[in-house]
């Protein structure tokens, strides 16, 4: 059996059109919602690129406001065909397989502002033991990561109660200790508070410190 570090990963990160991003944080972020969404995606991409198990990050987006700064961080940008989240992920995965067929392919949500490279490496090492695996979100309802080993069909089932759908599709649920930052996606003010407690990446921390100077955010 291939072990966790026997191969590296291509990670696909979908970034929706920013005008539609983070709608549940609209009241909190006000006119800074787009800036906040870019910051969160930037911290997610930067942490993924800093993970030793990650060979490349592929961002799938149709929004230049996201594509430009994320490409500047080192991500490869692929145009979103705008046919839903899972189609976007499969588009990114097809690009990954075309440029690096020997790498494992994973999908990572773009809203992980507290993501730590070492914790992501732990999750990827665990995922590498199975043909397909996923990490549930902090609420055990959704999914923050789904990945497959090289040559295994990539069949993401994100959206809504995706934990149940990934389980039904035969993916192994990764109940790994010490990966809280991989599980902490941010959709609501309560999620953001939990991410602040974990420690935000520098892009998100800068925006949060400006908008909510008493939040205690730090990069």
List, for residues 147-174, the tens digit of each pLDDT value. 999 999 999 999 999 999 999 999 999 9
pLDDT score, position 5: 46
Buried b (16+ CB within 10 A) or exposed e, 32-57: ebbbbbbbbbbbbbbbbbebebbbbb
pLDDT at 1: 35
How far apart are alpha carbons 44 and 38 in whole angstroms?
A: 10
Rounded Cα–Cα distance for residues 116 and 162 (Å): 23
Q: Are 41 and 70 in contact (CB under 8 A)?
A: yes
Contact 57, 13 (CB under 8 A): yes
More confident residue, 19 or 126: 126
Mean pLDDT of 58-63: 96
Mean pLDDT of the chain, nearest integer: 91
How many CB atoms are located within 10 Å of the residue 117 CB?
17
State yes or no: pLDDT of 70 exceeds 80: yes
- 159 in a labelled binding site: yes
What is residue 3's predicted lDDT score, i.e. its pLDDT? 43
pLDDT exceeds cutoff 70 at 19: no
pLDDT of 82 strictly over 50: yes
pLDDT for position 181 = 98
pLDDT value of residue 87:
97
What confidence tens digit (pLDDT) does each residue in 165-218 have? 999 999 999 999 999 999 999 988 899 999 999 999 999 999 999 887 655 565
Give the pLDDT confidence score for residue 212 in this predicted structure: 73
Per-residue model confidence (pLDDT) at position 52: 96
Q: What pLDDT does residue 23 have?
A: 60
| pLDDT value of residue 140 | 97
Rg of the chain over Cα atoms, rounded to whole angstroms, equals 16
Percent of the chain at pLDDT > 70 equals 87
- pLDDT band, very low/low/confident/very high, at 4 (cuts 50, 70, 90): very low
Give the whole-angstrom CA distance, residue 89 versus residue 63.
15
Instruction: Kindly list the structural domains of the chain, giving each domain's residue range(s) and its CATH number in brackets, ordered by start.
Output: 9-211 (3.90.550.10)
Question: 143 a known binding residue?
Answer: yes
- Number of Cβ within 10 Å of residue 190's Cβ equals 10
Bridge partners (DSSP) of residue 145 are 108, 135
């Amino acid at each position: 059996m291939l072990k966790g570090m026997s191969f590296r990963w291509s990670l696909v990160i979908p970034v929706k059109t920013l005008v539609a991003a983070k709608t549940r944080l609209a009241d909190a972020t006000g006119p800074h919602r787009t800036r906040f969404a870019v910051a969160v995606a930037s911290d997610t991409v930067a942490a993924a690129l800093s993970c030793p198990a990650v060979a490349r990050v592929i961002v799938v987006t149709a929004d230049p406001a996201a594509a430009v700064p994320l490409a500047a961080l080192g991500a490869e940008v692929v145009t979103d065909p705008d046919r839903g989240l899972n189609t976007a992920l499969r588009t990114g995965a097809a690009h990954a397989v075309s440029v690096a067929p020997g790498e494992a392919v994973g999908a990572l949500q773009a809203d992980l502002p507290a993501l730590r490279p070492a914790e992501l490496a732990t999750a990827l090492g665990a995922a590498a033991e199975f043909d397909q695996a996923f990490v549930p979100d902090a609420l055990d309802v959704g999914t923050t990561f789904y990945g497959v080993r090289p040559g295994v069909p990539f069949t993401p089932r994100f959206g809504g109660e995706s934990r149940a759908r990934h389980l039904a599709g035969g993916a192994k649920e990764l109940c790994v200790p010490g990966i809280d930052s991989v599980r902490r996606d941010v959709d609501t003010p309560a999620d953001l508070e939990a991410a602040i407690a974990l420690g935000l990446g520098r892009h998100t921390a800068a925006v949060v410190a400006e908008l909510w100077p008493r939040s205690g955010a730090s990069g």
